[in-house]
Chains A and B, each alone.
Chain A
């Protein structure tokens, strides 16, 4: 309801998809070997591969999720970005070159390169499949979220469009077309995000984000109130009316009151000012009725009563209170925000008769708190469990990147170890630069009156919309391409696990080279169908939440095996397989028993048998211990290099 479909955005989107599909079919005609399908022939230039890394890695969670989280929770959203980037240092310093040296098409190849072990082939393939599918779900959900405002289609249609397009891309040309999509998307994402941030800085900051009257912004009202001696509520604006028994309602008990004026009802939040006086602040709310109908600020969606949010309460520039700054540089932008006060939004659920109300109320917050951790991730005065959760999350982000199967397979598309290293360097530069941009895009959305408070994932595209429909169309198409690029990589990784690791290696199904390509394509179609199904089933689930799980799973299941294989000579095949099994099952088990999951089961978080949500701090050490103990109990049997090469031929 906050956004209307733009023909230009739809046209750009269609052109982009047609161009990608056309390119894919063109490349597909040339892809007949398995090396071409799984590794793009191993001849991608390191710079292209580096940008494609960025295109692969900067998923819906990075572009949409992090910007949205910064827009609503400030610095805490950006901590994910810092952790994600730090993970690339593990990839560069420890993993990049050995992965290139040891593997052929998949991460399993690298782990199994010295052993030819059925147990490694099976466990690594299962791990790749599970992690890829966990990572696929949020991407598909993100696609549905994006397509609804862009094309005006329902969530399921968005998921199906992405699923079909990506499956076609992957099934036609595998890694060659996937690389092209990721390179294009990565490059465009960097260029247009830079343009967007430059425009945000040129516009500067203002206390009324109506952009000199060019865009309407709903001015959220505040009313002074007092309680008379007889206990009656008195409002400074007598044109508002309210029910006499307001205090005894569920709303009143929760600190809210329903006021009416000119036949319109709104809910207001009651707070106290510094002098102890009573203040009523206008809220936004949705009401879900028993028949499933949803009203937005008391009216159907199409009436447009639910407004975008995001404004500054006080703006201080160089110690002086101002109403706007004009163009500012990036550091001055951050300094000014730090000295000012922004309005963030809290959420409260209240049952009001038959209706379930979700109320979004204003929370004026000093910039000094917005630009430091603590609004979402509890760090100050945190309990031991909260600290554990925080450290565990940061550990998963640090260790997860270098263990994501769809990232690791990109090391097989370049011709040498030096190219693997250089492409990682390009990826770090591109991704690091982008993550600095996300800080400005998120804060720009926070202060420019563009946030859809019900779905902050759209914050970056809606920030672009505040500069005009052309930029919105471009950014939305790129956001959609973001999903296409990442999903393509995931489907290639998952299809490689099925066709190459399981069918070819584990089950020993002897296939011709063309047969291997066909098996990969069929596996890609199957995984694509599963992804479409899951994307529809998980509608409404938080995108970042699931990505956090995928990182924890990858860090627990894969990284200990990779690190120990490279740096501990006593590592055995059984140790590697045990490490993956223990890491995967312990991380998965802890996730399923976590308080967040219990909420999703419809239970109370307190009923969960464990108190933390992030499993990495337990499951990663367990995986290391399993590898060491089992390796010490078993004998290392290496396949001689000559034999391995003969088998390869």
Chain B
């Protein structure tokens, strides 16, 4: 039937570990996103509160984008380390 990877992949002993931390980090980011959507849905006026001259809407929006990148870096760091450790 022709399924399976287009290139031959080696065995990945770090797979289970990576899945575990992936799920944990997914929940962390999802909570941050739920907070963003939740404030808008339940207390939208909070989005207008200002800190340091910028309102929560701007800070939270930029924060979510920066947080995504930081989490992705951390995730990649742990995954790469696990691959080196477990796939010797």
On A, residues with C-beta under 8 Å from B are 35, 38-39, 41-43, 75, 78-79, 82, 85-86, 88-90, 92-94, 97-98, 100-105, 109, 112-113, 116, 331, 334-335, 338, 368-369, 371-374, 379-380, 382, 387, 390-391, 394-395, 398, 412, 415-418, 421-422, 424-425, 428-429, 432, 435-436, 439, 500, 504-505, 567, 644-645, 647-648
Whole-angstrom distance between the alpha carbons of A428 and B64 in the complex? 12
Cβ-defined partner of B5 (8 Å) among A93, A104, A374: A104
Contact across chains for B3 and A112 when beta carbons are under 8 A apart: yes
Task: Report Cα–Cα, A311/B49, bound state, in Å.
Answer: 25
- On whether the beta carbons of B79 and A371 are closer than 8 Å, the reply is no
B54 engages A648 (CB within 8 Å):
no
**A82 engages B1 (CB within 8 Å):** no
Within 8 Å by CB of A103, from B3, B10, B50, B64, lies B3
Which chain A residues lie closer than 8 Å to B73 at the CB level? 425
CA of A505 to CA of B48 in the docked complex: distance in angstroms?
54
Q: Which of A372, A395, A644 contacts B4 (CB 8 A)?
A: A644
Residue among B40, B50, B65 making CB contact with A379, cutoff 8 Å: B40
Residues of B within 8 A of A424 (CB): 72
The interface residues of chain A, by DSSP majority, are classed as helix
Closest to B4 in A: A648
A-B pairs with lowest CB-CB distance, top 6: A42-B7, A93-B26, A42-B6, A372-B57, A93-B22, A335-B53
Indicate which residue in B54, B62, B66 contacts A338 across the interface (CB closer than 8 Å).
B54
The range of chain B's interface size is 35 or more
Main SS at interface, chain B: helix
Given contacts A82-B65, A334-B54, contact A35 B72 (CB under 8 A): no
In contact, B58 and A371 (Cβ under 8 angstroms): yes
CB proximity of A513 to chain B, nearest CB, Å:
10
- Are B53's CB and A391's CB within 8 A? no
Q: Apart from A82-B61, A86-B64, what 19 extra A-B contacts exist at CB < 8 Å? A: A35-B7, A42-B5, A43-B7, A88-B68, A89-B25, A93-B29, A102-B5, A113-B3, A372-B55, A379-B44, A421-B75, A421-B76, A425-B72, A428-B69, A432-B65, A432-B68, A644-B4, A645-B4, A648-B3
A104 touches B2 (CB 8 A): yes
Q: Chain A: which residue is nearest B66 at the CB level?
A: A432
Q: How far is it, in angstroms, between the C-alpha of A387 and the C-alpha of B40 when the chains are bound?
A: 9
CB < 8 Å neighbour of A648 from B1, B9, B41, B48: B1
Q: Are B15 and A97 in contact (CB under 8 A)?
A: yes
Interface flags for B58-88 (1: CB within 8 Å of A; 0: not) read 1001101110110111011001100100000
Give every chain A residue within 8 A of B56 (Cβ-Cβ).
372
A505 to B3, CA, bound (A): 9
Minimum C-beta distance from A120 to chain B (A): 11
* Complex-state Cα separation, A380 to B48, whole angstroms: 11
Contact with A along B39-52 (1 / 0, CB 8 A): 01100110110100
0/1 interface trace, chain B 1-27, chain A, CB 8 Å (1 if under): 111111101101001001100110110
Docked CA distance A39–B7 (Å): 9
Q: Report which residue of A105, A371, A382 has the largest number of chain B beta carbons within 10 angstroms of its beta carbon.
A: A371
Determine if A94 and B5 form an interchain contact, defined as CB atoms under 8 angstroms apart.
no
**A387 lies within 8 A of B2 (CB):** no
Contacts of A394 in B (CB 8 A): 37
> CA A147 – CA B74 in complex, angstroms?
43
CB-based contact A85/B57 at 8 Å: no
B6 and A371 contacting across the interface, CB-CB below 8 Å: no
Q: Residue on A with the closest CB to B45? A: A380
